[in-house]
Amino acid sequence: MQPPGPQPRAKRWRRRLLTGLLCAGAWAGAGADEPLQFNRDIRPILSENCFHCHGFDSNHRKADLRLDSFEGATAPRKGRPAIVPGKPEESELWHRITARDPSDRMPPPDSGHALTEQQIERLRRWIAEGAVYQKHWAFEPPRRPALPRVQRQDWARSPVDVFILARLEAEGLQPSPEASRETLIRRVTLDLTGLPPTPAEVDAFLADTRPDAYERLVDRLLASPRYGEHMAHYWLDAARYGDTHGLHLDNERSMWAYRDWVVAAFNRNLPFDQFTVEQLAGDLLPQPTRDQLIASGFNRCNVTTSEGGAIDEEFRVRYAVDRVETVGTVWMGLTLGCAACHDHKIDPISQKEFYQLFAIFNNIAENAMDGNALLPPPWLPLPTPEQEARLKALDREREQLQAALAQAVSRLDYRDPAEQSPPPVPQTRETVWIDDEFPPGAEPQINPGTPPNRWITAAEGPVHSGQRSLERKGQGVHQAFFPNCNQPLVLGTDDTLFAYVYLDPDTPPTAVMLQFHVDGQWSKRANWGDPNAIPYGRAGTPEKLLQGDLPPTGRWVRLEVSTRQLQLAAGTRITGMAFTQFGGRAWWDAAGLRTVQDPTRDPGLSLQAWWEQERERKDRSKLPESFRACLEKPLGQLSAEERAAIRTHYLREVHAGAPAVTELRQQIARVQREKAELEKQIPGTMIARELDTPRPAHVLIRGQYDKPGEPVGPGVPAVLPPLPPAEKTNRLTLARWLVSPEHPLTARVSVNRFWQQLFGLGLVRTSEDFGLRGEWPSHPELLDWLAVEFVESGWDVKRLLRLLVTSATYRQSSRVTPELLERDPENRWLSRGPRHRLDAEVVRDSVLFVSGLLNLQMGGRGVRPYQPPGIWEAVGYTTSNTARYEQDHGPALYRRSLYTFWKRTAPPPFMVLFDAPSREQCTVRRERTSTPLQALALMNDVQVVEAARHLATRMWREGGNADRDRLAYGFRLVTARAPTSLEADVLVENLELQRLRYRADRAAAQALVAVGESPVPEDVPVTELAAYTLVANLLLNLDEFVTKN
């Protein structure tokens, strides 16, 4: 097969390649005659063995000696300077590292560090060559290097390849031939979409003889919505995204809109600089859009707590530290966290500089305790357009009603009854609150596990009044109750609360109780019957008034309790009531209040009475702020102006004597209620918002929140370019600084991560650490070339990925010989194509995809697919709302793994087994292991076994009529290639064996195909389906299936 020919762009590069300058030495390490380079050859030795005590950290520096700078190392000292350039013999360092005596020897033998002979020799040579220091490479801005000269002229397709080839030639290695087209399409489809190609897509690619068939394939993949989903799973590791708060109770949090934003951002190819700015500071952009606010949720992805007893400041500090560390790792490849407690031991980051960055992230307007809430503020509601329109309509309606109310009030001719003479006579009145129905606005409840409420008519049992009574029958304590009723009973001066009850003479309860909801509490109770049966409250107090024996059975009895006994003052609002029984059966009816109304003392009728009541009330939050100071005085002592304002407020909001006003007030309440209910249905997402006044920031001594040292303002480490001058230095300043072209790290760190995604290893292998201890890049010029290219392209991520996957380097075969394995075990020189196990999400998604089960619905709240029992229960705080796993059913079982609900203290087990991080903290590089537990998961997890059955069904239905054809089809579905004849033999033989087994044991066959919740196909004989299912299970366990080849 002909590889596609070079494109115009590649041609241009080839010309440059021909005229390219010779690169100054590829990185084989210095040869014997080549001068040593500090960054490459010396710094790793010093930072590994010496900087811990003789480095940047001034507090822990020993013997006042620093070896991380030329000045420090050559400074005059008592005795010999540590380093005398050109003269190892006169350098104390040389004597110390070669000392025989352990007490003189450096590094000290008990430090756990030791130099090799080779390292000692290298240090000697470096001193002899003049001890030249270099600034750490990663802190110098990248410059586009010239292309190196290479011998082989027919291989490179792009500058990327030229750099790779130059290195290979220096190593005396050859690139591998191009991979087969089946391998290529599978590799690039997995890399760009996280799913394997379909046989049809493979066929189309094989049949496409156009020279740019591969590039067209790449463009198709980059345009697929699957692309953004796949890219998002890497990014969400870095962003430490989860669907729970992550600490202690680990309740659900609503952040999925942010996750969906990330998917969309990759899909619309949002330039990486904007991608950065919107996440770090979307809320600080001028007139931020809804999307930009959602993006700012990046800052809220850190784990949070609401553990009882936790100290606010301690956690506020932790959150800000987490944000600094995350930004350090994700954008700068710096381990800034090391400088939280002391100056960084390795990198030139002082503790003070850490807290300058901290000062930037210390100002998010959040509470330290998340309240275990779904949406700890600040958060953004996300209404649909229809919901938004309805909200607006409700607001308009409320405004109109309020205008009408104001007008109605202005028409009132009100005189306070307390000021009338003679005063009006008190009146007794009875209000029935509950009859046939709980009061409007009440939300009736029962205790979990107790019998439901049953309203019955006279045909079914005793009814006292109206049409119905409430029947309750059950064991032990059971209750019917409703709290927070918004049409409460308002108590008068000397009232009686009552309820009618009819006790079943055959099975009477042993005790009954009335209970009242006041100020959010259920602490007022009256008991009849066995005083010990219902255990709540202390007997003899209003928590548990003992009203005597159980009333007579078999007839309606009026239970009464006086508000005086319950110690409830006039004006108190009863917002709920509970009918409680211990065992037995009873009917309840007509409950309410007999009130003595004295208009002169009734806050609903007398302004003065109301004012006095408000003056005694502890909670003043419901009054307009402007009055609160007035509460110090009786009404009569206030100014006329104050009195007028209070009077208006009273008539509008409180006065109960004018039906027209009350009616309007109720309408307003209805509108507000409707709005509240609608708002409850509207999802939200946590976002960032900046405090108006920044919190003061200090250097925290030893990193302790309660040991503030010197105050600091916002800033960045001096080793990096300065922040641009700004009126306010905040997250936006920092974000823009990160993506400014002179920043030495952001572009390098980012392109390195994309490289790692495709090739398995970064050019800098420690993709989280570009500091002094980080690994030296395998191809420094290539890294810089890519970084500059990325920035100059306008931070175009798709373009960068296209550049990489269309390179000759990427397209190589991954086949490796033992010799090559010995020369380059990790494939750092890229003499072959990438081959490594797929990420957890890709494995599961591929299983679902090849079986035809995958549901491609995008976005929304996390779903809960199959999960073995007991995973959440084993760890969950019992009252957490994620203590018990309630699995979804139907299509939600088959969504892409990106949409699986992520509980951070117990993440999805399949994901964890395949090396997904817990998302409790930022991760930019996943481990990749191979374990027996992974094998068990792929063999036995319900979702894999069910998928195997569907894959079997596809083989049977779509694969032809012969076993061999069907098996070959299945093989192709999972590997994108046809099996060799030997491979087909193994499959056929395996199928035969399983078929024999299931023909002999039909029950076993039925049991196997019954795994999973999807219906079993009827057109495939069950023994055949079972045999094929187990072979499909084999296919889904193939190394080739779980590996990107």
Q: How far apart are CA 817 and CA 867, in angstroms?
A: 41
Interaction of residue 915 with other proteins, rule CB under 8 A: yes
Q: How far apart are CA 357 and CA 370, in angstroms?
A: 23
Residue 899 tokens, joined: 């949409």
Q: How far apart are CA 214 and CA 178, in angstroms?
A: 12
- One residue of 89, 475, 940, 962 binding other proteins per CB under 8 A: 940
Interaction of residue 252 with other proteins, rule CB under 8 A: no
Interaction of residue 990 with other proteins, rule CB under 8 A: yes
Q: Which DSSP letter does residue 330 get?
A: I
The least distance separating other proteins from the CB of residue 934, rounded to whole angstroms, comes to 7
Question: Which of 111, 467 has the CB closer to other proteins?
Answer: 111
Question: Which of 277, 334 has the CB closer to other proteins?
Answer: 334
The length of the chain is 1045
Binding mask 946-985 toward other proteins (x if CB under 8 A, else -) reads ----------------------------------x-xx--
**Cα distances (angstroms) measured from residue 131 to each of 36, 75, 134:** 9, 13, 10
Question: Which ranges constitute the DSSP H helices of 69-207?
Answer: 70-74, 92-97, 117-128, 159-171, 181-193, 199-207
Task: Name the β-bridge partners of 588.
Answer: 470, 501
The least distance separating other proteins from the CB of residue 634, rounded to whole angstroms, comes to 33
The least distance separating other proteins from the CB of residue 52, rounded to whole angstroms, comes to 9
- One residue of 176, 292, 305, 831 binding other proteins per CB under 8 A: 305
Interaction of residue 772 with other proteins, rule CB under 8 A: yes
Residue numbers 44-103 binding other proteins by CB under 8 A: 48
Question: Which ranges constitute the DSSP H helices of 223-305?
Answer: 225-238, 256-267, 272-281, 290-295
Q: Which DSSP letter does residue 739 get?
A: T
Interaction of residue 999 with other proteins, rule CB under 8 A: no
Interaction of residue 448 with other proteins, rule CB under 8 A: no
- One residue of 281, 945, 955, 1020 binding other proteins per CB under 8 A: 945
Q: How many helices (H) and strands (E) does the chain have?
A: 35, 20
Interaction of residue 880 with other proteins, rule CB under 8 A: yes
- One residue of 8, 286, 308, 636 binding other proteins per CB under 8 A: 308
Interaction of residue 887 with other proteins, rule CB under 8 A: no
Select from 403-411, 514-522, 529-537, 813-821 the region that touches other proteins (CB under 8 A): 813-821
Interaction of residue 843 with other proteins, rule CB under 8 A: no
Nearest CA to 511 out of 550, 558, 471, 553 is that of 550
The least distance separating other proteins from the CB of residue 481, rounded to whole angstroms, comes to 21
Interaction of residue 914 with other proteins, rule CB under 8 A: yes
- One residue of 279, 733, 809, 905 binding other proteins per CB under 8 A: 905
Residue 618 tokens, joined: 């502890």
The least distance separating other proteins from the CB of residue 266, rounded to whole angstroms, comes to 24
Alpha carbon 552 to chain centroid, angstroms: 60
Q: How far apart are CA 288 and CA 184, in angstroms?
A: 42
- Which residues, in sequence order, are CB contacts of 644 under 8 Å at separation 6+? none
Interaction of residue 826 with other proteins, rule CB under 8 A: yes
Task: Name the β-bridge partners of 595.
Answer: 429
Select from 242-250, 393-401, 460-468, 955-963 the region that touches other proteins (CB under 8 A): 242-250
Interaction of residue 925 with other proteins, rule CB under 8 A: yes
Residue 721 — left, alpha, or beta (φ > 0 → left; ψ -120 to 50 → alpha)? beta
Question: Which of 613, 880 has the CB closer to other proteins?
Answer: 880
Q: Which stretches of 893-963 are assigned E, i.e. beta strand?
A: none
Interaction of residue 361 with other proteins, rule CB under 8 A: no
Interaction of residue 814 with other proteins, rule CB under 8 A: yes
- One residue of 470, 480, 485, 937 binding other proteins per CB under 8 A: 937
Interaction of residue 313 with other proteins, rule CB under 8 A: no
The least distance separating other proteins from the CB of residue 477, rounded to whole angstroms, comes to 16
Select from 214-222, 636-644, 731-739, 940-948 the region that touches other proteins (CB under 8 A): 940-948
Interaction of residue 1006 with other proteins, rule CB under 8 A: yes
Interaction of residue 447 with other proteins, rule CB under 8 A: no
Interaction of residue 1026 with other proteins, rule CB under 8 A: yes
Interaction of residue 476 with other proteins, rule CB under 8 A: no
The least distance separating other proteins from the CB of residue 886, rounded to whole angstroms, comes to 16
Q: How far apart are CA 40 and CA 23, in angstroms?
A: 16
> What three-state secondary structure class fits 522?
strand
Q: How far apart are CA 844 and CA 895, in angstroms?
A: 10
Going by their DSSP bridges, the two strands 468-473 and 545-546 should be labelled as: unpaired
Binding residues for other proteins, rule CB under 8 A, total: 123
- One residue of 114, 393, 718, 726 binding other proteins per CB under 8 A: 114
- Which residues, in sequence order, are CB contacts of 986 under 8 Å at separation 6+? none
> What three-state secondary structure class fits 384?
coil
Question: Which of 686, 1008 has the CB closer to other proteins?
Answer: 1008
- One residue of 941, 959, 966, 1044 binding other proteins per CB under 8 A: 941
Residue 1030 — left, alpha, or beta (φ > 0 → left; ψ -120 to 50 → alpha)? alpha
**Cα distances (angstroms) measured from residue 732 to each of 216, 724, 750:** 38, 11, 19
Interaction of residue 997 with other proteins, rule CB under 8 A: yes
Interaction of residue 338 with other proteins, rule CB under 8 A: yes
Q: How far apart are CA 168 and CA 824, in angstroms?
A: 11
Interaction of residue 835 with other proteins, rule CB under 8 A: yes
Interaction of residue 247 with other proteins, rule CB under 8 A: yes
The least distance separating other proteins from the CB of residue 256, rounded to whole angstroms, comes to 21
Interaction of residue 8 with other proteins, rule CB under 8 A: no
CB atoms within 10 A of CB 799: 16
Q: How far apart are CA 907 and CA 836, in angstroms?
A: 23
Q: Is the Cβ–Cβ distance between 881 and 251 less than 8 Å?
A: yes
